[in-house]
Chains A and B, each alone.
Chain A
Amino acid sequence: MSTAIESVVDSTAAAVRARALGKRYRAKWALRDCTFELPAGRVAALVGANGAGKTTLMSVLAGLLDADEGSAGAAGRVAFVSQEKPVYRNFSAADMLRLGARLNVVWDEARARRWLARFEIPLDRSCGKLSGGQQAQVAFALAIGSRPDVLMLDEPLANLDPLARREVTAELLGEVDETGMTVLLSTHVVAELSGVADYLLLLAHGRLLAGGDLDELLGRHVSYTGPRSDVPPALGQVVEARHTDRQSTFLVELPEGQPRPVVAGPWVERAPTLEDYVLAQLEATRKGVRA
């Protein structure tokens, strides 16, 4: 957590930033030319297919890996929970909290205990005897208790059951409201992010495909459905085009600074969901790579 490269700044500034960030494993670049600024107090989703570089990016931002080019920094203290949600197997949950209290300069015991109580994790049983989901909750409690300025969670929902997923995201949002921390969470399950994240970082093949405020991003895109056609009914960049025998669907990025076009006739206009948008973007890069 001692990766505070830049000092803590006021809430309007960036909590996490990367400039031309690159990281390679031997000759293969896992991350290339990554530039973004995540404003403080946001809940950002880092989305990408498996192997897109999400874990690498988070590890670099958390200070566990050094970048090969460019720079990265987080304002203040960073807590990172890796994908495996590791815990010391012969430690009890209470021991893990003691570890958090001992190894952090800021520690909020009550908050950590509240998290464990919320998910009914026994404090005295060794973590090795807890289920994978329970171990994940211990790892979350440790991260929450350290009162980070930036909380980074790698695939936080991966080994949780559907109910726990909803509860964890709700609790996380509660913590964000109370503490004002910035959250960066990675996932490849996009559907669970709607209503959670308000910022999007879309990663594909080690490059940042899109990034920005979620409402703004989605607002710039429109989904049109209508009769079979080779072109969409309005001007703009086609992100994705899907055709059946009789029907065509387009996801279009509208040109900036122009009023929203009005389409009529057989075309139906719809605001894309986060999932529509992400899947279309990922699909587009996959086709691009194949070509």
Chain B
Amino acid sequence: MTANTTAGTTTAAPVTKRTRVGWGDLVWLTWRQHRWVIIGLVAAVGVVVALALTVAWQVDATGDAQRLFGRWRFISVGSVVLLAPMATGLAIAVFWAAPVLAREYEQRTHLVVWSQDVTPTRWLTGKVVLLGVPAVALAVAVGLASSTMLDSINAASDRPPFPAFEMPAFEAVPLVQAGYAAFGFALGLALGALTRRTVLSMGLALGLFLAARVVVAGVLRPNFQAPLHEVQTYGAFQRSWDGPGDGSWTVNSGFVGPDGREVPFPSTCSTAQDSAAYTKCMEDSNVLFFQDYHPVERLVPFQLVESAIFIVLAAGLLALTFVTVRRARRA
């Protein structure tokens, strides 16, 4: 397995023979080719993890999320750190995965590597395992660190500044991060195989990753399950609003009449002088307040569904990549 590295031009160096190309060889190749991208992303994730854990440790130690060195609020620092779980999957798609196949095709080096004693399928399997698994692992690390930080900040506040059911807290957990990373990796790889152009596949990976995230988060997620419907008087709603919140996620709200039909906002109440008069006006007009919401018990199931959607997409894209690379032998 080890290369014969006898220096110089001695002809005494024996010919190395073995039965097959091993995983160690694919590890060497992958590291030699992609080491700067790997180092770059690992370093970036390292910074994020360190920052998140420092914030968590500080908040836990002081029990106060409002002050950091007397100047910044931990919540603002937390908001910046929380860009990471939004960006990790995207970075994996664009920088980590898209160039893997595209650059080989573009520089024609696929002809070099597939002309050695390694089949395209085995080579591709090596890349998927050796780059895909670390990518998911990095995203899980980001998810673990950011959810730890969020839990600390939320625990130290009267009203959680990062409600667990809402963006970005919903996304900042290892489970969902793993789904995004797997999808991003498979998307970038598949686009590289299909377009065979590095810059084009990176651009498409950027656009399609964002599109998938927006569609799933904005259109599908509120309907993973039918929301619960609750009708109450405006006064009751107002009292619950001032409380600490029960962690549920309101996806729709508005005004209904006593028959349960949705009604427009009663314009006469807009002139109410204070809160009590406003509440009384609403009640006099027979207008109730409704909320469509998902209770907090649905949080983990929803995160599971979100992750599952992206993992299924990733599996499909990986299959597409293998088929495309196999097909390339026919065209």
Q: Which residues of A contact B (CB under 8 A)?
A: 1-2, 25, 62, 64-66, 68, 77-82, 84, 86-89, 91, 95, 97-110, 113-114, 117, 139, 142-143, 146-147
Contact = CB atoms under 8 A, between A and B. Distances in A.
B10 interface: yes
Nearest to B123: A103
Interface string B1-21: 001111011111101111111
Interface string B222-259: 00000000000000000000000000000000000000
Contacts of B13: 108-110
A64 B15 contact: no
A273 to B, nearest CB: 33
B25 interface: yes
Given A64-B111, A88-B33, A106-B16, 5 more contacts: A101-B4, A102-B28, A108-B13, A109-B4, A109-B16
A82 B111 contact: yes
Nearest to A68: B330
A88 B107 CA distance: 8
A125 to B, nearest CB: 16
B105 to A, nearest CB: 10
A88 B112 contact: yes
Contacts of A81: 115
**In the complex, which range does the number of interface residues on chain B fall in?**
35 or more
Contacts of A97: 3
B117 A2 contact: yes
A117 B13 CA distance: 15
Contact of A105 (B4, B8, B19, B330): B19
Nearest to B17: A106
Interface of B: 3-6, 8-13, 15-21, 25, 28-29, 32-33, 107-109, 111-119, 329-331
B112 A142 contact: yes
B331 A25 contact: yes
Contacts of A78: 115
B111 A105 contact: no
Contacts of B20: 105
A107 B330 contact: no
Give the residue among B11, B12, B116, B329 with the most A Cβ atoms within 10 A.
B116
A80 B11 CA distance: 24
A91 B109 CA distance: 12
Nearest to A107: B16
A108 B9 contact: no
B118 A103 contact: yes
Contacts of B18: 105
A1 B123 CA distance: 13
B32 A105 contact: no
A91 B112 CA distance: 13
6 contacts: A1-B116, A25-B331, A65-B329, A86-B109, A87-B109, A114-B11
Given A104-B21, A105-B17, A95 B32 contact: yes
A37 to B, nearest CB: 23
A81 B8 CA distance: 25
B9 A99 contact: no
B330 A2 contact: no
A161 B17 CA distance: 35
Given A105-B18, A110-B13, A86 B108 contact: yes
A130 B329 CA distance: 30
Nearest to B24: A102
B111 A109 contact: no
A95 B31 CA distance: 12
Given A102-B25, A105-B17, A108-B15, A77 B114 contact: no
A103 B3 contact: no
Contacts of A104: 21, 116-117
Given A98-B28, A109-B6, A87 B112 contact: yes
Give the residue among B5, B16, B19, B119 with the most A Cβ atoms within 10 A.
B16
Contacts of B29: 99, 102-103
Contacts of A68: 330
A123 B17 CA distance: 23
Contacts of B21: 102-105
Nearest to A154: B111
B83 to A, nearest CB: 30
A103 B25 contact: yes
B122 to A, nearest CB: 9
A70 to B, nearest CB: 15
